[in-house]
């Protein structure tokens, strides 16, 4: 049980750090979508849309 709690806390810390260091705003009213270059780089992973 202690290991599960430690993993949960670690994942929360990682998430907070990743969200706080993201250069583009990904949450909220100012979100205007992903940059076209990112979409093109990852198109193969998600298939044609």
Residues 3-46 pLDDT 10s? 999 999 999 999 988 877 766 666 666 666 677 787 788 777 77
- The set of residues, in sequence order, having a beta carbon less than 8 Å from that of 37 and lying 6+ positions away, is none
Give the pLDDT confidence score for residue 30 in this predicted structure. Answer: 63
Domain spans of the chain? 24-49
pLDDT, tens digit, 9 for 90 and up, residues 31-40: 666 777 877 8
> In the prediction, which pLDDT does 18 show?
84
With beta carbons less than 8 A apart as the criterion, state whether 25 and 31 touch.
Answer: yes
CB contact at 8 A, 34 and 22: no
The pTM score is 0.46
């Amino acid at each position: 049980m202690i290991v599960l709690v430690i993993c949960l806390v670690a994942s929360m810390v990682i998430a907070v750090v990743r969200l706080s260091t993201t250069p583009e705003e990904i949450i909220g009213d100012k979100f205007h979508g992903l940059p076209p270059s990112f979409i093109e780089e990852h198109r193969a992973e998600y298939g044609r849309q």
